[in-house]
Amino acid sequence: MSFPDIDRRGTRRLRWIWALFVAPVVAAIALVVVVAPSQPDGSAVWFTVVVVLAAVVDFAGVFWIRWVGAEAILSLDSNDEIRVAYLRRMVLSCAFAVTPALLAFAFVFAAGTTEVFLGVAAAALLLLAYAGPRSSDIELLDDRMVDAGRSFRVSAALDS
Q: How far is the CB of 147 from another protein (least distance, A)?
A: 10
Is residue 80 a contact point for another protein (CB under 8 A)? Answer: no
**Whole-angstrom Cα distance, residue 76 to residue 78?**
6
Phi, psi dihedrals of residue 45, rounded to the nearest 5°: -60, -45
**Whole-angstrom Cα distance, residue 55 to residue 49?**
10
**Whole-angstrom Cα distance, residue 52 to residue 103?**
10
Candidates 19-27, 58-66, 89-97, 149-157 — which segment interacts with another protein by CB under 8 A? 149-157
**Whole-angstrom Cα distance, residue 97 to residue 155?**
24
Is residue 151 a contact point for another protein (CB under 8 A)? Answer: yes
How much is the CA Rg of the chain, to the nearest whole Å? 18
Candidates 63-71, 73-81, 95-103, 115-123 — which segment interacts with another protein by CB under 8 A? 73-81
Q: How far is the CB of 77 from another protein (least distance, A)?
A: 4
Is residue 13 a contact point for another protein (CB under 8 A)? Answer: no
Give residues in contact with another protein (CB under 8 A): 9-10, 12, 77-79, 135, 139, 143, 146, 148-153, 155-156, 159-160
